[in-house]
């Protein structure tokens, strides 16, 4: 069985049933997951296993469909126990649920007298064939003595000279006498590490849930922007997510705006330095900072950009004259698609729509040095996009181009996401599911079409435990590998020769044997 994947734990699960026809055509609600089953006769049900990290596991039986509601955002997987006399195929192989978007798995059963499906899910798959890899991978989130961090590390950000990396970590063993989460700076030449004691990030729960930890190093001026719910200055009297800036010595911390107010939750996030580092853009749901509409702010001077809709990604154009962002609205109606598209807006100007009907994924946006934008979408934007999976597309406002393809142009990659342009604009890094064997970090050469594989799949078969059914003798995956080898926080070095990222992979570098999320550097 080819597997659909899910990760992240659910706060509460509600299971409902209903007629098959509406579910087949309705769009899942935000934070929900629909499992649609087709091809079974009356009186026969399928046992579906839904799994995620932190021991999340639900098993349900259905002949038509089940809906899981109130899910925590994250990546999910599903497997199905074989039904005697039938084969089954699950699509897509992995599904992402967000606070703004649901997902759907389709399980199609066929009688065994039909021709054998090459993607028969009852047969363990063949190992993923690795592509050419990097020269080396080195761990960053380690102590000066080389000990790996014992807690989550994420959000790597390169210094302008490429000699240091800032990252967020909740590890207690990187620097002696540490409790809680902080921003750290690693000097690559000698391996020394510094904890910025004034850049407090709270606890691991805050980092895991996106309430703190984002870091971006200014290209000029040696300042680091970060997000946290901690009170880092006397003027901060609330307990909401704020943007701060700090110098690499950790001696000066400031908040680049007055206290937030207005809006439902007046938080601030996604700090983005302009190319000259003279301005800082960020997203905020507050309404008190400047007049107008929109959730994008730029300072100094403080100005407000965007449409009246939700903004879910934010990037500067290379010349610093405009911002590119994803904006749209949720209809909260399963029968009416929500709209999330790409826009370009000059600072002080009006927004220009770059795409229509993209349904762009939350936070999945990057801008090339020549101004082209890349984003992730589940919508088939080209006629040959038939994989029913998320893909990375590039556009300059005209016809989109899909880049998440093999070197020969085949649809061998699944659930592609997290695109990041190289500094020279001739390559793009992104995450994909290696067929069905777990996440890998890939780099696409846009000139030659060749792919470079930075990380291997954690487990070559994508499954921790295969189970043989006692009645039918068929084999199915009893424990999908939902955590291993996940990739986050991709950031290119200024010269484009290295790439930093964080991963839950447990053997990318010598000495790593735990499932803790660590920060790494790959030399290309």
**pLDDT above 60: residue 125:** no
**pLDDT above 50: residue 197:** yes
If we measure between CA atoms, which residue out of 356, 265, 272, 260 comes closest to residue 313?
272
Most confident of 63-77, 227-241, 475-489: 227-241
Phi, psi at 208, each rounded to 5°: -60, -35
**pLDDT above 60: residue 69:** yes
In tens, the pLDDT along 386-410 reads 887 889 999 998 899 999 998 888 8
Virtual torsion, Cα 386, 390, 396, 398, nearest 10 deg: 30
In tens, the pLDDT along 276-285 reads 999 999 999 9
User: Is omega for the bond preceding 6 within 30 degrees of 0, making it cis?
Assistant: no
Give the separation between CA 521 and CA 166, rounded to whole angstroms.
Answer: 12
pLDDT at 17: 34
Q: Which two tokens stand for residue 299?
A: 């300072």
460 contact partners, CB below 8 Å, separation of at least 6: 127, 128, 437
- Judge whether 4-111 and 136-238+245-523 match in fold: no
Buried b (16+ CB within 10 A) or exposed e, 497-516: ebbbbbbbbbebbeebeeeb
Band of pLDDT at residue 262, cut at 50, 70 and 90: confident
In tens, the pLDDT along 164-186 reads 999 999 999 999 999 999 999 99
The structural domains of the chain, with segments of one domain joined by +, span: 4-111, 136-238+245-523
Band of pLDDT at residue 473, cut at 50, 70 and 90: low
**pLDDT above 90: residue 229:** yes
Average pLDDT, the chain: 83
Structural element, H or E, at residue 21: helix 20-25
For domain 136-238+245-523, the question of CATH label 2.60.120.10 is answered with: no
Virtual torsion, Cα 22, 23, 29, 31, nearest 10 deg: 160
Structural element, H or E, at residue 24: helix 20-25
In tens, the pLDDT along 301-323 reads 999 998 888 898 999 999 999 99
pLDDT at 123: 38
Virtual torsion, Cα 158, 164, 166, 171, nearest 10 deg: 140
Band of pLDDT at residue 114, cut at 50, 70 and 90: very low
Instruction: Out of 63-77, 227-241, 338-352, 482-496, pick the least confident.
Output: 63-77
Task: Judge whether 196 and 182 are in contact, CB under 8 Å.
Answer: yes
In tens, the pLDDT along 481-514 reads 555 678 999 999 999 999 999 998 888 998 887 7
For domain 4-111, the question of CATH label 3.30.420 is answered with: no
Give the residue carrying structure tokens 């046992």. Answer: 47
Q: How far is CA 185 from CA 193, 281, 382, in A?
A: 6, 23, 43
């Amino acid at each position: 069985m080819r597997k659909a994947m899910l990760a992240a734990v659910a706060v509460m699960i509600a299971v409902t049933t209903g007629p098959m026809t509406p579910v087949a055509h309705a769009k899942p609600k935000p934070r929900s997951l629909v499992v649609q089953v087709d091809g079974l006769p009356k009186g026969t049900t399928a046992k579906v296993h839904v799994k995620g990290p932190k021991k999340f596991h639900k098993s349900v039986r259905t002949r038509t469909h089940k809906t899981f509601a109130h899910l925590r955002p994250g990546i999910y997987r599903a497997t199905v126990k074989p039904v005697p006399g039938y084969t089954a195929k699950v699509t897509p192989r992995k599904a992402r649920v967000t606070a703004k978007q649901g997902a759907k798995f389709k399980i199609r059963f066929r009688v065994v007298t039909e021709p054998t499906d090459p993607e028969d899910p009852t047969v363990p798959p063949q190992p993923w064939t690795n592509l050419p890899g990097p020269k080396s991978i080195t761990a960053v989130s380690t102590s000066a003595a080389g000990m790996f961090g014992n807690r989550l590390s994420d959000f790597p950000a390169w210094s302008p000279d490429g000699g240091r990396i800032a990252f967020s970590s909740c590890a207690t063993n990187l620097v002696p006498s540490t409790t809680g989460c902080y921003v750290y700076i690693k000097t690559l030449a000698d391996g020394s590490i510094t904890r910025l004691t004034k850049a407090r990030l709270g606890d691991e729960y805050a980092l895991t849930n996106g309430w703190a930890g984002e870091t971006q190093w200014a290209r000029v001026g040696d300042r680091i922007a970060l997000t946290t719910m901690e009170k880092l200055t006397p003027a901060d009297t609330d307990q909401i997510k704020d943007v701060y800036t700090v110098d690499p010595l950790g001696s000066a911390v400031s908040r680049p705006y007055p206290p937030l107010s207005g809006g439902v939750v007046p938080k601030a996030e996604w700090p983005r330095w302009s190319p000259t580092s003279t301005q800082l853009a960020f997203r905020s749901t507050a309404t008190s900072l400047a007049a107008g509409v929109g959730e994008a702010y730029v300072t100094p001077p403080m100005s407000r950009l965007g449409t009246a809709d939700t903004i879910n990604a934010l990037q500067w154009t290379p010349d610093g004259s405009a911002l590119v962002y994803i904006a749209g609205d949720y209809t909260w109606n399963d029968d009416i698609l929500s709209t999330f598209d790409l826009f370009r807006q000059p600072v002080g100007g009006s927004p220009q729509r770059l795409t229509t009907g993209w349904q762009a994924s939350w936070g999945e946006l990057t801008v090339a040095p020549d101004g082209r934008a890349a984003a992730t979408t589940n919508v088939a934007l080209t006629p040959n996009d038939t994989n029913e999976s998320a893909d990375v597309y590039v556009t300059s406002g005209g016809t989109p181009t899909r880049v998440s393809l093999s070197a020969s142009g085949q649809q061998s990659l699944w659930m592609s996401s997290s695109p990041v342009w190289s500094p020279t604009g001739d390559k793009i890094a992104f995450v994909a599911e290696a067929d069905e064997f777990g996440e890998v970090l890939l780099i696409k050469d846009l000139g030659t079409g060749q792919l470079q594989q930075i990380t291997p799949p954690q487990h070559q078969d994508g499954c921790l435990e295969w189970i043989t059914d006692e009645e039918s003798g068929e084999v199915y995956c009893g424990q999908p590998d939902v955590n291993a080898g996940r990739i986050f926080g991709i950031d290119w070095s200024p010269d484009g020769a290295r790439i930093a990222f964080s991963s839950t992979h447990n053997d990318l570098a010598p000495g790593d044997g735990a499932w803790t999320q660590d920060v790494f550097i790959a030399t290309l």
